[in-house]
Every structure is written in structure tokens, then in C-alpha cells.
Amino acid sequence: MKILKTFIFFNIAIFSLSAQETTMLIDAESSSLNWIGKKITNSQHNGSLKFISGDLTMCSDQKTSKMSICKGSFVVDMTTLLVEDLSGSSKQRLEGHLKSDDFFSVDKHKKSFLTINSSKIIESGFLVKGSLTIKDITHPIEFELIRSPGGFTANMIFDRSKYDVKYNSGSFFENLGDRLILDDIELSADLYFQ
């Protein structure tokens, strides 16, 4: 029922020309954020993170009179970082390593932030532009938000080396061989709203 109500609300926001601005709050419990990190050997690990909060504001596009995303913000709880392709002590070791200063320094930087500043309407949803902040370092990001029943899906890639995540990175170290971990981290999100 919650998904149906959200879907109806979303479509009213998109197609109603009379609405000037509508803000939707994320359903953090229903939404998900998953990550994949890869090594040069084609092996990989995957896991998840949780949202603390988030919102999207829809505004009337002056050129098309359709509703587009004019702004948004999402806060991710880095302390919830999980590894999901391992179990037992191997899982615990990798989670601890990813939270350490070798990677995301979670004790010092417990939150990461995604801000949306503008969007362009595309056939499947929206092409959005904004910024991603990790370890208090901010860089621009661009990705597609695809409409789905009850919300959106999103896939994006960020370069960890730009956020001072140096461990076994070819951007900082040479001759790593099979130990090299690729800089690109893949993120996928399913976003649902209250």
C-alpha cells in the first residue's frame, strides 16, 4: 500500500502543471544502497550501506512545463558499511579494514553526502548533476535517476582516489601487481519515499 501511495503521489507531482514545488522525503528503511569494489584480477567484493535521511524537490520546468528535480540531498551512515559476499572472520576483517584509515576513516567521517543541484528530463527519468562528499572531500557527480514503481533507481561510479582512499590504488602506488584495487567504486540505489 505504501508503494502504491508513493507511486500515485510521484505521478501527480510529475504531471500536475499547477504544482510549483513538491518535496518528497526518503523512506530510509525501505531504500537501499549497494556497492561493488574490484581488483585488477577481476575478483570483487560487494556490500551495502544505509541512508540516514534524504529528500528530493520537484519543480516545474520552465521550458517544458513538466516537473523535474531541482534539488535533493541524501545522507549515508558510513558506520553501517557491510560486506555481503563473505562471512565469519573474513567478513569482519574486511569490514574493519574498509572502515579504517586505509579506506574510509569511518571513526573520523561517519557520514557521506550526496547533493543534487539540477536535472534534465530524459526518457527514463532524469539526468542529475550534483556533488558527492566522502571524508569531507567534495567532487561533482552526474548520474541517471530512473523511474521505478514507488520511486527511483540509480547507478553511479565514483573514483575513490579523489577522496583520499589510497590503499593499493594505482593512482598513488606503482608495481602493485595483483594487489592493485581499482579506483572506481560502483554504487546502486533503490530509493523509496514516504
Type of residue found at 157: I
Type of residue found at 139: H
pLDDT (0 to 100) of residue 32: 99
Could you list the residue range(s) of the whole structural domain that residue 77 is in?
2-192
Whose grid coordinates read 539526468? 127
pLDDT (0 to 100) of residue 64: 73
CATH number at residue 97: 2.40.128.110
pLDDT beneath 70: ranges in the chain: 1-19
pLDDT (0 to 100) of residue 66: 87
pLDDT digits (tens, 9 = 90+) for 41-56: 999 999 999 999 999 9
pLDDT (0 to 100) of residue 18: 42
Q: What is the pTM of this model?
A: 0.87
CB 72 within 8 A of CB 88: no
3-state DSSP assignment of residue 65: coil
CB 77 within 8 A of CB 52: yes
**Which backbone phi and psi does 10 adopt, to 5 degrees?**
-60, -45
pLDDT (0 to 100) of residue 65: 78
Distances (CA, A) of 109 to 33, 51, 76, 180: 18, 15, 11, 25
Q: Look at the chain and report how many structural domains it folds into.
A: 1
Contacts of 183 (CB under 8 A, 6+ apart): 159, 160, 161, 169, 170, 171
